[in-house]
Amino acid sequence: MNWQATLERIGEFTSKYFVLWVVIAAPLALYTPETFTPIAAYITPLLGIIMLGMGLTLTPADFRRILERPRDVFIGAMSQWLLMPLFAYLLVAVLGLPWEIGVGLILVGAAPGGTASNVMTYLGKGDVALSVTITTVTTIAAPLVMPAWVVALAGESISVTFGQLSETIVQVVLLPVVGGLVLRYLLDRYAPLVAEIGLSIFPAISVVAIVAIVAAVVGLNVETILGAGALVFLAVVLHNGLGLGSGYAVGHATGMAEDRARACAFEVGLQNSGLAVALATAHFSASAALIPALFSVWHNVSGPALATLFTYLDGDSPATDEDVAVASD
């Protein structure tokens, strides 16, 4: 059907130029913050929409892979759970970030894997099945792991409790993901055409939601960005780089094949920064949401760059537009 092809092209185009939309929206939010700050009230439901989209991409086969390759899944998940929170805490201390900003870096470090890691693993010729499985495991465990790290590292400097953080994560991550999984099962069984259309257009919806979240956070933090922009951006770049590098190193050190080590790199380095933004705005401050918002921008620059490097080292041609479209499904 022509209308179905049109929807697919819209989804592909929007996803392909994701970084461009963010690069356009962020300066606009700096220039006219009052245009975008009202979006802040909708950050949590927007994230719920994004996580619903993630749930729609999952199938029972993704969960069976946990049983098929438990060792590599365990190594990838543990690397993310242990390394990224500790890197965040050390960077806050070493760079001397103000605590109201630094807690945002800890939120990013404690967050589960983001769906961008699955796309970058595909483009970088990594093991996509392993990537999807690790993302699924860390997302399901997020209501326990993420609050535990935040409370442990932030300590008495925060007033929010483990239970409050856990409840929010369940509402904006776990329930939408499970809902998306159930909806995907029902659609595949009773309305496969609708499922196909939904999977084609939902990446575009997710991109719009992420861009809106980033613009809202930038609009709320104009003075902070202009005052401490370089140091904050350095923290984001270092944190992301340490995650990508250490994930790849751990993969090889534990005997993973090259494609699985690449998946481990992307899983450790690319976080669900949207969840960190939602928690920051719900339980902390607008300043706490700044680093997670910048991370959303930066890891969608560093991820494709690393994927391109991997394909170059393989001697392969860069991913085509069709590859990007398939990876976004």
Distances (CA, A) of 122 to 19, 84, 252, 285, 304: 18, 22, 18, 35, 10
Q: How far apart are CA 168 and CA 253, in angstroms?
A: 36
Per-residue pLDDT, averaged over 85-107, amounts to: 92
Q: What backbone phi and psi angles, to 5 degrees, belong to 70? A: -65, -35
For each of the domains in the chain, give its residue range(s) and CATH number, in order of start. 45-328 (1.20.1530.20)
Per-residue pLDDT, averaged over 169-175, amounts to: 84
Per-residue pLDDT, averaged over 73-80, amounts to: 95
Residue 16: the pLDDT is 67
Q: How confident is the model at residue 2 (pLDDT cuts 50, 70, 90)?
A: low
Q: How confident is the model at residue 326 (pLDDT cuts 50, 70, 90)?
A: very low
Residue whose structure tokens are 């956070």: 217
Q: How confident is the model at residue 304 (pLDDT cuts 50, 70, 90)?
A: confident
Per-residue pLDDT, averaged over 136-142, amounts to: 88
Q: How far apart are CA 297 and CA 121, in angstroms?
A: 18
Q: How far apart are CA 87 and CA 143, in angstroms?
A: 21
* One-letter amino acid of 302: S
Residues whose CB falls within 8 Å of the CB of residue 118, separated by 6 or more in sequence, listed in order:
57, 128, 131, 132, 135, 266, 327
Q: How confident is the model at residue 228 (pLDDT cuts 50, 70, 90)?
A: low
Q: How far apart are CA 105 and CA 286, in angstroms?
A: 13
CB-based burial, 84-121: b 16+ in 10 Å, e otherwise:
bbebbbebbeeeebeebbbbbbbbbbbbbbbbbbbbbb
* One-letter amino acid of 240: N
Residue 230: the pLDDT is 82
Residue whose structure tokens are 């029972």: 60
Q: How confident is the model at residue 119 (pLDDT cuts 50, 70, 90)?
A: confident
Residue whose structure tokens are 């999952």: 58
Helices 290-314/258-269 angle, 10° precision: 160
Q: What secondary structure letter does DSSP report for 289?
A: G
Q: How confident is the model at residue 238 (pLDDT cuts 50, 70, 90)?
A: very high
Q: What secondary structure letter does DSSP report for 256?
A: -
The sign of the dihedral angle between the CA atoms of 59, 61, 66, 67 is positive
Residue 26: the pLDDT is 81
Structure confidence by residue, pLDDT tens digits, 18-63: 677 877 888 898 889 999 999 988 888 888 887 787 788 777 776 7
Residue 107 has pLDDT above 90, yes or no: yes
- Averaged pLDDT of the chain: 83
Count of CB atoms situated within 10 Å of the CB of 197: 18
Residue 135: the pLDDT is 87
Structure confidence by residue, pLDDT tens digits, 245-272: 999 999 999 999 999 999 999 999 999 8
> Which H or E element spans position 106?
helix 99-110
Structure confidence by residue, pLDDT tens digits, 150-163: 989 877 566 777 88
Q: What backbone phi and psi angles, to 5 degrees, belong to 175? A: -65, -45
Residue 322: the pLDDT is 43
